Structure 1
C-alpha cells in the first residue's frame, strides 16, 4: 500500500496550505470517459459493475490516469446500501434506479447491520485494489450516500419524484422514518468505516 502522507489533498484536509491547490471533481468517473463506456459495456448490469472489484477499481482509476486528479473517488453507487440491506434495487436503461419501497414502517426489515456490511465486501476489495494502485501522492475518497437521500429512494422507489411520500412519512409516520434513518445511519457508518 502506498504511503498517502504525501498527498496534497490530505495536506489541505489537515488544515495546511498546498500549492498547487489539489483538485478532484464530483462524478469524475463516468459516461464522459470513452474508456468508462467500454468498461461498463462488459458488465451484465450496473449492480454487477459496482460489485465487481476489478471493474469498479478500474472505473475509479480512469479519471486519475486521464486528468491527473489529486484524489480518486471510490466508484460505487449510493443505493448499494439498500441492496445490501435486502431491498430489490435495479437500474433500468433510460429510467434510472428503481428500488423496492419500504412501506410498513419496519425499517429495513430488521436486517442485521453486520449482514448488510458483509454483503458490501466487494466494495472493500475495490478499495484495497485502488489503494494498491494509486501513487503515494494521490488520495482515495470513500463513497456513500447520506441516509436521508438513500431513505428517499427506499420510500419513493426512485429519484426525481416530488418527495411526497417522504413528506407524508415525516408528518404522519415520524417513528417509521426515524427507524429507517436509524437503520441507514448504522449500516452507512459501518460501511464507511470499512472503506
Structure 2
C-alpha cells in the first residue's frame, strides 16, 4: 500500500497531513556533520552511494518523516553534461568552463556520472518501509542554465538573463540540452525506485512574464509530458520558487501533478487561485522554523487550515537552515501531526 505522502501527491485528501522538509538531510543534523567530517567534501558524499543513502535516511530515523528526499545536488545534470563541478568552503558550487565564455558544443558529456545517483535511490528505496515515499529530484532547466552560464550562483542571474535576451537561439540550445538530460536523469531515478520526483526551479522568480513562459514553463512542460509518457503513475512536483502570480499559469501549462509554493505567497490566495483538487506542497517560512516558539505553532496551523480543502503536503517554502534547532523540528512535527482537518 502506498504511504500517506504518495496518496496525497496522487490527489487523495486526508484529515492528516504528510510532512517532509526540503534539505531535511543536511547540516542541521549532528549525525550528518559527523559523517561529513569522516568522509570528506560534499561531492564525495554525493558520489558515495552508501554514504548518500545513510544521509538520506538519517532524518527519517530521527523524525519519521513521510518522505525521503534523495541526498544529491541539482548540479549533477550540468556535471553529467561535461562541466567540472567543485564545492568550495564558504563559496558554494562552481562550474567550469562557464558557458558565458565557452560554447555548449565544447562540452563532452559524461553520462556515467548519473549512475551513482541511481544506485543511491536503489539503496534508499530498499531500506524504506512501504509507508515512506522515496522522492527523487532534479533542477529545472532554467535554474541549471543560470549556473552553467555564470559558473556559479548569483543574486539576480544577470549573465543568464542577459544571454537569453542577447542570444535567445543559443540560450535555447542550452535549455534544450538540459531538458533532454533531465528527462533521462529523472527516468533513471524512477526506474531505480523513486515514487515521485520534484523539479526545483530555485531562480524562477527573477524572470519577466514572457521569459518565464519560455524558459520556465515550456521546458518544464516538456519534462512533465515525457515522464507522463514513460511513467504515468509517478507524480511530478513542480517548485517554481518566486513565481508569485505566475503560479496558476505554471500549473495550467506545465501539467505538474502537484506544486510546491514558497513562503512569499499567501496560502489562502494559493488555495483560491489553483485548480480544485490539485495537491499543494508548502509553505512555511524556514526562518519561522529557525525561530521556534508560539509563532511557529500559530503559522503552521495557519498553513494547515488554509489548505484544509485540498490535498496538502506540509513543507517549508524553501530549504531548512543549517542553524535550525532539532527541538524546533520536533515542535513542528508535533503541531502538524496533531492537526486534523
Whether the TM-score (by the shorter chain) exceeds 0.5 is: yes
Give how far 1:105 is off.
6.6
Equivalent in the alignment of 1:190: 184
The answer as to whether partners of 1:120 and 1:191 remain within 8 angstroms in 2 is: yes
TM-score of the pair, normalised by structure 2: 0.53
Q: Measure the CA separation in 2 of the matches of 1:137 and 1:57.
A: 18
Give how far 1:89 is off.
0.9
Q: Measure the CA separation in 2 of the matches of 1:65 and 1:191.
A: 27
1:132 aligned residue (114, 126, 141): 126
Q: Secondary structure at the match of 1:64?
A: helix
The answer as to whether partners of 1:36 and 1:59 remain within 8 angstroms in 2 is: yes
- Is 1:102 equivalent to 2:99 in the alignment? yes
Equivalent in the alignment of 1:173: 167
Distance 1:48 1:102, change over 3 A: same
Equivalent in the alignment of 1:37: 33
Listed one character per residue, the Cα deviations across residues 13-33 of structure 1 (whole Å, up to 9, x for unaligned) are: 121123421111111111100
Q: Secondary structure at the match of 2:146?
A: helix
- Is 1:53 equivalent to 2:49 in the alignment? yes
Equivalent in the alignment of 2:224: none
> More strand by proportion, 1 or 2?
2
Equivalent in the alignment of 2:8: 12
Q: Measure the CA separation in 2 of the matches of 1:190 and 1:139.
A: 21
Listed one character per residue, the Cα deviations across residues 150-185 of structure 1 (whole Å, up to 9, x for unaligned) are: 110011111134322112211111111101111100
1:163 aligned residue (157, 161, 173): 157
The answer as to whether partners of 1:85 and 1:108 remain within 8 angstroms in 2 is: no
In the alignment, structure 1 segments of 5+ residues that lack a partner are none
Distance 1:95 1:76, change over 3 A: same
Distance 1:92 1:73, change over 3 A: same
Structure number with larger C-alpha Rg: 2
Q: Measure the CA separation in 2 of the matches of 1:6 and 1:192.
A: 20
1:114-153 matches, cutoff 5 A = 115-116=110-111, 118-153=112-147
The answer as to whether partners of 1:11 and 1:18 remain within 8 angstroms in 2 is: no
> Which shows bigger deviation, 183-192 or 162-171?
162-171
Aligned pairs, how many?
A: 188
Give how far 1:104 is off.
5.4
In the alignment, structure 2 segments of 5+ residues that lack a partner are 190-341
